[in-house]
């Protein structure tokens, strides 16, 4: 199932946002789904290494998708919600889903804004607060509106977010961030599990091998 921009629907008892694909519409995407190559990106909003990857590579990934090199499929975990406690990763994802209804650009801009404002240490569950999510949305041009704000404050996509993070384990991934290009792993994290192993130029070179 694929949902185009601006066309959320109700699926299996929960609302599914626009710009989603895959079984149950639990995968957010950026770019043209008809592209022959697929970049799958696995992240968690409360994870520090995911933030570092966003800071280093997200804009490079966006530009490459804009150039037609691949479509990006985003998968999100909520492991820190489960291990540390709270609901920030899942509630942040539900707000990202509301951004996807506005458009692909706004979704990626908001993703970058949330990572830039990521609370630390992980026990700080600031993203569980809808007022914080709206404050960060205000930094994204064209995102906030009465409709968007209502979706965030009413947790319209919280059940969808629960379904989305529930599919994460099916990929056999135990940590984030992870990147697959056409099913092959692109190593983006060093052995310490914290620092990013590739510069933007090195990352693009990996896609050509």
**114 in a domain, yes or no?**
yes
Helices (H) and strands (E) in the chain, counts: 9, 8
User: Which two structure tokens, joined as six digits, stand for 135?
Assistant: 């404050």
CA–CA gap between residue 57 and residue 196 (Å, rounded): 9
CA–CA gap between residue 134 and residue 185 (Å, rounded): 34
**13 in a domain, yes or no?**
no
User: Which two structure tokens, joined as six digits, stand for 73?
Assistant: 């499929």
pLDDT at 12: 47
pLDDT at 208: 81
pLDDT single digits (tens) 117-168: 999 988 899 999 999 999 999 999 999 999 999 999 999 999 999 999 999 9
**91 in a domain, yes or no?**
yes
**179 in a domain, yes or no?**
yes
**196 in a domain, yes or no?**
yes
**193 in a domain, yes or no?**
yes
Total tally of structural domains belonging to the chain: 1
The DSSP string of 157-206 is: THHHHHHHHHTGGGGT--SS-EEEETTEEE--B-TTSSSB---HHHHHHH
Show the domain range for 108. Answer: 31-206
**168 in a domain, yes or no?**
yes
3-state secondary structure of 109: helix
Residues of the chain with pLDDT under 50: 11-12
pLDDT at 7: 52
Length of the chain: 209
CATH number, domain at 158? 3.40.30.10
pLDDT at 4: 54
Pick from 90, 59, 57: nearest CA to 177:
57
pLDDT at 11: 47
pLDDT at 122: 85
**148 in a domain, yes or no?**
yes
pLDDT at 9: 52
């Amino acid at each position: 199932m694929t949902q185009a921009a601006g066309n959320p629907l109700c699926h299996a008892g929960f609302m599914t946002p626009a710009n989603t694909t895959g079984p149950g519409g639990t995968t957010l995407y950026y770019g043209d789904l008809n592209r022959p190559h697929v970049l799958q990106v696995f992240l968690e909003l409360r994870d520090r290494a995911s933030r570092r990857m966003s800071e280093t590579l997200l804009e490079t990934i966006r530009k490459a998708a804009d150039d037609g090199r691949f479509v990006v499929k985003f998968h999100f975990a909520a492991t820190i919600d489960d291990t540390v406690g709270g609901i920030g990763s899942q509630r942040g994802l539900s707000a990202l889903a509301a951004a996807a209804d506005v458009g692909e650009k706004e979704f990626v801009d908001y993703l970058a804004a949330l990572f830039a404002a990521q609370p630390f240490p992980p026990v700080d569950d600031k993203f569980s607060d809808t007022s914080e999510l709206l404050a960060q949305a205000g930094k994204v041009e064209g995102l906030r509106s009465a409709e968007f704000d209502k979706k965030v404050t009413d947790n319209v996509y919280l059940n969808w977010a629960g379904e989305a993070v529930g599919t994460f384990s099916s990929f056999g991934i135990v940590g984030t961030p992870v990147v697959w290009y056409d099913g092959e792993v692109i190593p983006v994290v060093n052995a310490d599990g914290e620092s990013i192993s590739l510069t933007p130029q090195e990352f693009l070179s990996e896609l050509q091998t």
